[in-house]
Structure 1
Amino acid sequence: MTTTQLYQELKNVNHSREKRLYYANLLIKNPNLIPKTLEILFMVDDKISPRAAWVFEFMCKENLEASLTYLDYFTENMHKVHQDSAVRPVAKVCEYLITAYYAKTANRVQSELLPKHREKIIELCFDYMINDEKIAPKAYSMNCLYLLGKDYEWIHPELLLILERDFQMQSSGFKARARHIIKKINSKKS
């Protein structure tokens, strides 16, 4: 399947779990479609870009290791994504990667998610935290930054500043997640 054919196929993707899962499994069975999906995802001004993001996120949920070959491309370009419906899945993929990296069970992400990838994720997550993003990317970013703060000591103080500064102006969903993260960071201090 060419990129153009895949683009046409992605027009059939909607918010239904069934459709996203169907196309995610298509990628898993045909790994040659993964870079084509990412290419469409990073056509950031195109209305099909979010659909590619949804499919890529679902593929990562089902088989995160399938994305590892493309970490350089993904982390180099993820900051370009700006449509709300594409930002959320990109943030979720970052959370999948960071959660796997800090998992107690050994996995390939721990050896293949290099410092350069983690630093790009840190940068993106802080951008999501300080920019006018919806709650989901902020929530995924909080979790990523909390975990990354285990290895980058400067992250927790910066994250606390942002959470405390923005707390009163944010939604109840943000406040609930922020309270949880603040409590976890403060319990590490004592």
Structure 2
Amino acid sequence: MTTEQLYNELNYVNHSREKRLHYANLVISQPNLIPKLLTILFTVDDKISCRAAWVFEFMCGENLEAIIPYLDRFTQNIHKVHLDSAVRPVAKVCEYLVTANYAKTNNAIKTALNSDHKEKIVEACFDWMINDEKIAPKAYSMNVLYLLGKDIDWIHPELVMILERDYQMQSSGFKARARHILKKIKV
């Protein structure tokens, strides 16, 4: 399947779990489609990039280790994503990666996710925290930054400052997640 053919297939992806899962499994079964999916995802001004992001998120949810050969490309481009419908799944993939990195069980992500990848993820997450994003990317970012802050000493103080500063102006969902993260940091 060419990039153009995959692009055309993505027209059939909608918000339904069934469609996203169908195309995620298609990509998992044909790993040569992953770089093509990323090409579409990072064509950030095209609405189809959002559908590519949805499929990519589901693919990572089903088989996170499939992203390993593409970690450089993914982390170098995440800051470019700006459409709301694409930011949420990209932030979720960042959360998948960092959660796997801190999992108690051994996995390939722990060795594949290097300091450069983490740095790019931290930058993107802080951008999502301070920019006018919806609650979901902010919630995923809080969790990512909390986890990475266990090893990178400057992250927690910055995160606390942002959470406390923005607390009053945010939604109840933001406040609930912020309280949870602040409690974990201050323990």
Q: TM-score range by the shorter chain?
A: over 0.9
Partner letter of residue 147 of structure 1?
Answer: L
Match of 1:121 in 2: 121
Offset of residue 44 of structure 1: 0.4
User: What is the aligned-residue identity percentage?
Assistant: 76
What is the distance in 1 between the residues matched to 2:157 and 2:167? 15
Cα deviation 1:70-94 (Å, max 9, x = unaligned): 0000001111000000000000000
Match of 1:6 in 2: 6
Match of 2:151 in 1: 151
Offset of residue 125 of structure 1: 0.4
Offset of residue 167 of structure 1: 0.2
Matched, 1:104 2:104: yes
What is the distance in 2 between the residues matched to 1:15 and 1:67? 22
Match of 1:66 in 2: 66
What is the distance in 1 between the residues matched to 2:26 and 2:58? 11
Match of 2:36 in 1: 36
Offset of residue 56 of structure 1: 0.2
Offset of residue 3 of structure 1: 0.2
> Secondary structure of the equivalent of 2:14?
coil
What is the distance in 2 between the residues matched to 1:185 and 1:38? 34
TM-score in terms of structure 1 length: 0.98
Offset of residue 47 of structure 1: 1.1
Match of 1:136 in 2: 136
Match of 1:87 in 2: 87
4+ residue runs over 2 A deviation? none
RMSD of the TM alignment (CA)? Answer: 0.3
Cα deviation 1:150-190 (Å, max 9, x = unaligned): 11011001000000000000000000000000000000xxx
> Secondary structure of the equivalent of 1:13?
coil
What is the distance in 1 between the residues matched to 2:138 and 2:125? 8
Partner letter of residue 135 of structure 2?
Answer: I
Match of 2:47 in 1: 47
Partner letter of residue 111 of structure 1?
Answer: T
What is the distance in 1 between the residues matched to 2:17 and 2:132? 27
Cα deviation 1:103-143 (Å, max 9, x = unaligned): 01010000000000000000000000001000000000000
> Secondary structure of the equivalent of 2:97?
helix
Match of 1:182 in 2: 182
Partner letter of residue 137 of structure 1?
Answer: P
